[in-house]
């Protein structure tokens, strides 16, 4: 079995939905950012601050390929699609879900978040530009796009389940 991946912009709910789907399917959930933090022994914020974004993106690529062998749900960081190599890797998997909603909804969730380096160092306008730039990258790397606006976690999971019939026990 290949893993199930969630991709999408920060704040869209990848971790929350991944955890709930993991409960439903009785599968482990691996949050890539948490995995990287554990592996590096420091927060994403500290990795960005001490080593820069390029270093972090290289780590992310290595971890994506490493986790691609797991029988698990993998929730990725919002920037995983920045790398062409990562998008190609994701395209080779048939269970990659792009979770999305309008930027204004995301901004309401992200504004003031102290744990996300890209939120801290960017204005709303520059984050919206990043969102717009990444949107086609998510589409390029996914199997299915799921709109999450005005849906509960369980409603989103119910939308995903028909795509995963072979995983349901």
- CB neighbourhood size of 147 (10 A): 13
Q: Does residue 164 fall inside a structural domain?
A: no
Q: Does residue 95 fall inside a structural domain?
A: yes
Q: What CATH number did the domain enclosing 24 receive?
A: 3.40.50.300
* SS3 at position 163: helix
Q: Does residue 165 fall inside a structural domain?
A: no
Number of H helices, E strands in the chain: 9, 5
**Mean pLDDT, range 149-160, rounded to an integer:** 94
Q: Does residue 16 fall inside a structural domain?
A: yes
Per-residue pLDDT reduced to its tens digit, 29-48: 999 999 999 999 999 889 98
Q: Does residue 28 fall inside a structural domain?
A: yes
Q: Does residue 121 fall inside a structural domain?
A: yes
Looking at residue 122, what is its pLDDT? 66
Q: Does residue 18 fall inside a structural domain?
A: yes
Q: Does residue 166 fall inside a structural domain?
A: no
Domain coverage including residue 36: 4-157
Number of structural domains (the chain) is 1
HEC profile for 87-104?
A: HHHHHCCCCEEEEECCHH
Percent share of the chain, pLDDT over 70: 90
Looking at residue 169, what is its pLDDT? 44
Per-residue pLDDT reduced to its tens digit, 89-129: 999 988 999 999 999 888 887 766 656 656 566 678 888 89
Looking at residue 93, what is its pLDDT? 87
Please tell me the pTM assigned to this model.
0.90
- Residue corresponding to tokens 């984050």: 127
Which H or E run includes 109? helix 103-110
Looking at residue 89, what is its pLDDT? 94
Higher pLDDT: 166 or 52? It is 52
- CB neighbourhood size of 103 (10 A): 19
Cα torsion at 91, 151, 67, 90 (round to 10°)? Answer: 10
């Amino acid at each position: 079995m290949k893993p199930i991946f969630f991709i999408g912009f920060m704040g869209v709910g990848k971790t929350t939905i991944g955890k709930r789907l993991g409960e439903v399917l009785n599968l482990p959930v691996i949050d890539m950012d948490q995995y990287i933090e554990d592996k590096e022994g420091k927060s994403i914020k500290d990795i960005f601050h001490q080593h820069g974004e390029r270093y972090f993106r290289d780590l992310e690529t290595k971890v994506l390929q490493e986790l691609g062998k797991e029988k698990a749900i993998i929730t990725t960081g919002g920037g995983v699609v920045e790398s062409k190599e990562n998008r190609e890797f994701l395209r080779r998997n048939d269970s990659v879900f792009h979770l999305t909603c309008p930027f204004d909804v995301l901004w309401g969730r992200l504004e003031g978040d102290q744990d996300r380096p890209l939120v801290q160092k960017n204005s709303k306008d520059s984050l919206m530009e990043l969102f717009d730039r990444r949107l086609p990258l998510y589409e390029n790397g996914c199997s299915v796009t799921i709109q999450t606006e005005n849906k509960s976690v369980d409603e989103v999971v119910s939308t995903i389940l028909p795509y995963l019939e072979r995983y349901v026990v």
